[in-house]
Amino acid sequence: MISMAGALNLALRDAMAADPAVHLLGEDIGTLGGVFRVTDGLAAEFGEDRCTDTPLAEAGILGTATGMAMYGLRPVVEMQFDAFAYPAFEQLVSHVSRMRNRTRGALPLPLTVRIPYGGGIGGVEHHSDSSETYYMATPGLHVATPATVTDAYGLLRQAIASDDPVVFLEPKRLYWAKDELRPDAPPFGQAVLRRPGRDATLLTYGPALTVCLEAAEAARSRGFDLGVLDLRTLVPFDDETVCAEVRRTGRAVVVHEATGFAGPGAEIAARVTERCFHHLAAPVLRVTGFDIPYPPPMLERHHLPDVDRVLDAVTRLQWEEA
Amino acid sequence: MTVLERPATSLLPEPEPYRVLGTSAEPEPGLWTRLYRELVRGRRFNEQTTALTRQGRLAVYPSSTGQEACQVGAALSLGPRDWLFPSYRDTLAAVARGLDPVAALGLLRGDWHTGYDPRAHRIAPLCTPLATQLPHAVGLARAARLRGDDTVALALVGDGGTSEGDFHEALNFAAVWRAPVVFLVQNNRYAISVPLSRQTAAPSIAHKGVGYGMPGRLVDGMDAPAVHRVLTEALARARAGEGPTLVEARTYRFDAHTNADDAGRYREEAEVADWRARDPLTLLGSELRARGLLTGDVEEEAAQAAERLAAGLRAALGADPPLSAADLFAHVYASPTPQLREQAASLAEVTR
Ligand SMILES: Cc1ncc(C[n+]2csc(CCOP(=O)(O)OP(=O)(O)O)c2C)c(N)n1
């Protein structure tokens, strides 16, 4: 058994051992091992040139990592928290995501940006954002988010090996969840059915996976057999698996922590509707964070999708007409 | 710790812009005539490109007329393994370094964002978001040093760009890492319409170096041998592992910000005339002539090279470039996502 933080640490260690081009940059990632200890021991093992505490400046971190990637290195950047990645947004949008495209493929950027994200850890203001919407809306970036220990390891290794830039979103509240680490994580871009179900499909990813699995369990006693699909990567998006599942059940609810308006759920609901309209028995519903700035820790439980809100949405899937 | 490792005064720029022309400096005939030839070509490049832009052959052209000594001085100071990080105004620096002019103008012509392979030429894409190329130069320089290469990066930025956060972050990272990088600020006194006094209250831009722990140098940006000398020294210093240098070149753009700008709204003709009197071409040409170093052959050859460049531009830019809408989807990712494949197919369907 290993924690998600431990699996991520192992992925970094193995990637660094396998490829001397892999360099880590971030704040407090050296001596301290990162505020979440994901880089624990790596500076000692690989030296400070490979696991570097940078000056405190996120645009500078990502901007210099971009230059390192231009020279052929394979940088992995750690942003300390979701909301502290915003200073790096310009570098990400104006350069990292476009370098391959603007040079007609001459200058690919193999670069991974790790970002601890999401709420549920009692964080004060600016420590709990779900910022995936911004990254998903930026062409040229891959966006991955593991919800299991096996994916934490497997997807991170794949992200680092990728010749495209990857925003790697790590659900903070799952950092200490322990599980068996299997060596066979499915490839990037493939959604995975975490629980089969006949009546409706919960489409989710990252920190909300646990909530959906609990909701599916609770729904059994109410007579609903719910499937749970873990998207794993938001870009590329696995239309094929998503649509196959939804066509089978005819009903879907998208569940995520990010705010709902123009959020990932809006895109997913539109895609499912465009592709599976004649198989749908009800509109695709969404259970998301509300359209509010992330709330203070003592109120965050109202904002985060929970079992009750998921079950409430499931009961609104027009069963009487079925 | 109260004792400074290095006295701050050792990092301060010279009180007056460093000059070579009109001083007792030893002439370097070979270098000076090379610089002269490139200045002549550069001026012709700027004028021809502006003319072609007026004819609609380019989307826009930010000319570097007046700034040729900086452009050419920068290009000629670089070694073959060094990298150049240009901004949108620095097409000429790329051309003077040897890049095919049509490829260099790709961004401004608009048939693709970057018309050349940056790695093959060691010239980063011309960068439009101000100062955002500076941290790239720092990272690339650091990567080269980590690999044990003696590559140095030279990054170009305007005076307005020094107000951006990326300027600060790049200089700070460079100094902390002692990265082999040189920053050249072409201070042409205006950021579009806004004069330098609204960008900074610093005594000079070069003074900003001391705050990062790197030397600042001030050079006459109309004096090509001076620009070349200061950059060569800074590059050598970087190559020797002594860290970054901030160089401020005092210069002026004779033309408007771009062909689309009206400079009459923010600067006086008299000011322009004063600076035209310090034209970098005339300055170097007169000095060469006064010293008997400008033979008819040199002038002839420079003029011919300039005309060849201009004729090549007219021919290449006069023709329409090959364009393919399918290219839009080809290089977004290493291989297109299923969504991009669908979109490419649907576009092909409606444009069939
Ligand atoms: C981040 C950013 N903000 C604004 C602009 C629009 N813009 C283009 S050039 C320019 C002026 C820049 O002046 P300066 O840095 O002095 O360089 P110069 O154009 O004089 O060479 C502005 C405001 C931009 N390109 N990037």
DSSP B14: P
C-beta pairs of B22-31 under 8 Å, 24+ apart in sequence: B22/B283, B22/B287, B25/B225, B27/B291, B27/B293, B28/B225, B29/B293, B31/B76, B31/B225, B31/B228
Determine the distance from the C-alpha atom of residue A174 to the mean position of all C-alpha atoms in its chain, rounded to a whole number. 11
Residue in the structure block whose two tokens are 């090959």:
B322
* Segment A238-245 mean pLDDT: 98
CA distance B323 to A112: 32
CB contacts < 8 A, A to B, total 143
Exposure of A110 by Cβ count < 10 A (0-12 exposed, 13-18 middle, 19+ buried)?
A: buried
Find the helix packing angle between B296-318 and B29-54, rounded to 10°.
30
Measuring CA to CA, which residue among A94, A33, A40, A20 is closest to residue A63? A94
Mean model confidence pLDDT for chain A: 97
- Whole-number mean pLDDT of chain B? 96
Residue A55: is its pLDDT beyond 80?
yes
Report the C-alpha gap between B288 and A71 in whole angstroms.
40
CA distance to A43, A168, B162, B170, B192, per residue, from B199 (Å): 40, 37, 8, 18, 12
Q: In angstroms, what is the span from residue B129 Cα to ligand 1's centroid?
A: 7
**Residue B341 at interface with chain A, using a CB cutoff of 8 Å:** no
Task: Flag whether residue B103 sits within 8 Å of chain A, measured between CB atoms.
Answer: no
Q: Whose CA is nearest to atom 26 of ligand 1?
A: B129
CATH architecture of B3-321: 3-Layer(aba) Sandwich (3.40)
Contact B334 A164 (CB under 8 A): yes
State the average pLDDT over residues B87-103.
98
pLDDT at B352: 75
**Model pLDDT for residues A57-101, shown as the tens digit of each residue:** 999 999 999 999 999 999 999 999 999 999 999 999 999 999 999
The reply to whether residue A163 touches residue B334, judged by beta carbons under 8 angstroms, is yes
Q: Answer yes or no: is pLDDT of B1 > 50.
A: no
How far apart are alpha carbons A285 and B129 in whole angstroms?
40
Protein residue with its CA nearest to atom 20 in ligand 1: B191
Query: Residue A69 CB: number of other CB atoms within 10 A?
Result: 26
Q: Report the distance separating Cα B307 and Cα B316, nearest Å.
A: 14
Contacts of B331 in chain A (CB under 8 A): 100-101, 103-105
CATH architecture of A2-179: 3-Layer(aba) Sandwich (3.40)
CATH 3.40.50.920, applies to A192-317: yes
Residues 6+ apart with CB under 8 A from B85: B124, B127, B133, B134, B136, B137, B140, B153, B154, B155, B156
- Evaluate if residue B4 carries a pLDDT over 70: no
A164 part of contact set with chain B, CB < 8 Å: yes
Distance CA A79, CA A93 (A): 16
pTM for this model (two decimals): 0.97
Check CB contact under 8 Å for B113 and A55: no
Residue A111 has pLDDT above 50, yes or no: yes
- Residue A285 above 90 pLDDT? yes
Between the alpha carbon of residue A222 and those of residues A194, A199, A216, A282, the distances in Å are 20, 12, 10, 19
Q: For A125-170, write each residue's pLDDT tens digit.
A: 999 999 999 999 999 999 999 999 999 999 999 999 999 999 999 9
pLDDT tens per residue across span B271-288:
999 999 999 999 999 999
Substitution site in B130, B162, B199 for ligand 1 pocket (most atoms within 8 Å of beta carbon): B130
Question: A320 falls in which pLDDT band (50, 70, 90)?
Answer: confident
* Residue A48, both tokens: 């400070």
Catalytic residue among A23, A95, A126, A127: A127
Residue of B nearest to A66 (CA): B136
Give the model confidence (pLDDT) of B42-70 as tens digits. Answer: 999 999 999 999 999 999 999 999 999 99
Strand bridging mode A2-3 / A178-179: antiparallel
- From the CB of residue A122, how many other CB atoms can be counted at a distance below 10 Å? 13
Cross-chain residue pair A57–B176, CB shorter than 8 Å: no
Ranges in chain B annotated CATH 3.40.50.970: 3-321
Give the residue-averaged pLDDT of A107-113: 98
CA distance B126 to B133: 9
- Same fold? A2-179, A192-317: yes
pLDDT score of B3 more than 90: no
At B102 the pLDDT is 97
Q: Mutate which of B46, B87, B192, B196 to test ligand 1's pocket (most atoms within 8 Å of Cβ)?
A: B192
Q: List chain A domain ranges.
A: 2-179, 192-317
Residue-level pLDDT at A179: 97
Give the pLDDT band (50/70/90) at residue A321: low
**CB neighbours of B324 closer than 8 A, spacing ≥ 6?**
none
CB within 8 Å: B333 and A100: yes
Pocket of ligand 1 (CB under 6 A): B 89, 128-130, 158-161, 188, 190-192, 257
CB atoms within 10 A of CB B56: 7
Does ipTM come in above 0.90? Answer: yes
Q: What is the dihedral of CA A188, A193, A199, A203, to 10 degrees?
A: -40
pLDDT > 70 fraction of chain A, expressed in percent and rounded: 99
Helix (H) or strand (E) holding A200: strand A200-204
